[in-house]
Amino acid sequence: MSLFDLPLDQLRRYAPTITEPADLDDFWRTTLQAAESVPVLVEVRPEPTDLRLLDTWDVTFAGFAGDPVRAWYTRPAGVPEPLPVVIEYVGYGRGRGTPHERLTWPVAGYAHLLMDARGQSGQYGVGDTADPHGKAPGGPSPVTRGILSPQGYYYRRLITDAVRAVQAARALPGVDPARVVVAGNSQGGGLALAVAGLAPGLAAVLATAPFLCHLQRAIEITDASPYGEIGTYLAVHREAEAAVRHTLSYVDAAGLVRRATAPVHLGLGLRDRVCPPSTVFAAYHQYGVANGGPVPARSIHVYPFNGHEHGEAVHLRRQLRWLAELLGDPTQPAPPTRSTQPAAAG
């Protein structure tokens, strides 16, 4: 696997203008207000497992259009104190799987809400959430489903689900609503960044190799899936390019993060053809610059000889240490607010 994107010294300066549609804020305000008209928690049911040190609940919450979205809620057993919660979003083609698959955050002492991805089960993992709105014109895969209009696009629904997961987490028992963290890798990382720009009051954002960033460039420089699926669609539907680009401008996390206020921790592989490095640096440089206040603390970690796998366990250790420094002991009350001045890229 060779280098294919900009050299690292240029990436550190790569801060393109992300063109936003004039009605972007109104679009998302209207979308989220419609979702919020429905009570967020539908069902919270204890889930028997063999995990004796953890307690798990099968959660259903109301996402886009009130659709039921499934999630696993897990926390350390026997800990009565309200805990900070890490909301994790899954990668493309995955689902929430089984309760014992993702245990890092609850084992580290945090509450953990793992959100399913509607209509994506079966490619790399198993999920339990349907997508009943897949009839808008577009292609067959999630990334092209409804892609000819912002209103019908799949990622309008999935991003709405991700924001509603924040609201659901704050309503769960044993959660400190002031210490809500969003996290994810690949598609999950892109969702975490999008939510950072749409959900107020987050404590931190963890995103690795994020998808959905600087989409206008991404579909031009890589043929790897999922971006390659958009290219394949346009190779057949040649007349649809303008409509597709217009739709993508509404879900581009590199634009939405301009409104973010929470500290962010990013990671990427320099040889990543799935989510090219320049698209991630575009989001990094735009993060929080138009939030009406100081730019939040930002850090980014680059793994020069890695691709989409980025730093894997090494990076996860960095995330754990960064979050512990930011939030303190998960079982203790929140520490005083830290500085929001930007950190140097590393």
Active-site positions? 186, 272, 308
Counts for the chain of helices (H) and strands (E), in that order: 11, 9
Task: Please list, residue by residue across 178-199, b when 16 or more beta carbons sit within 10 angstroms of its beta carbon and e when fewer do.
Answer: ebbbbbbbbbbbbbbbbbbbbb
Q: What is the DSSP string of 41-107?
A: EEEEEE---S-TTEEEEEEEEE-GGG-EEEEEEEEETT--S-EEEEEEEPPTT-----TTS--HHHH
Question: What is the helix (H) or strand (E) element at residue 206, kind and residue range?
Answer: strand 204-208
* Residue type for position 243: A
With 0-12 / 13-18 / 19 or more C-beta atoms within 10 angstroms meaning exposed / middle / buried, residue 134 is middle
Please tell me the distance from the alpha carbon of residue 226 to that of residue 3, in angstroms, as a whole number.
19
Q: Is the dihedral of CA 264, 128, 312, 211 positive or negative?
A: negative
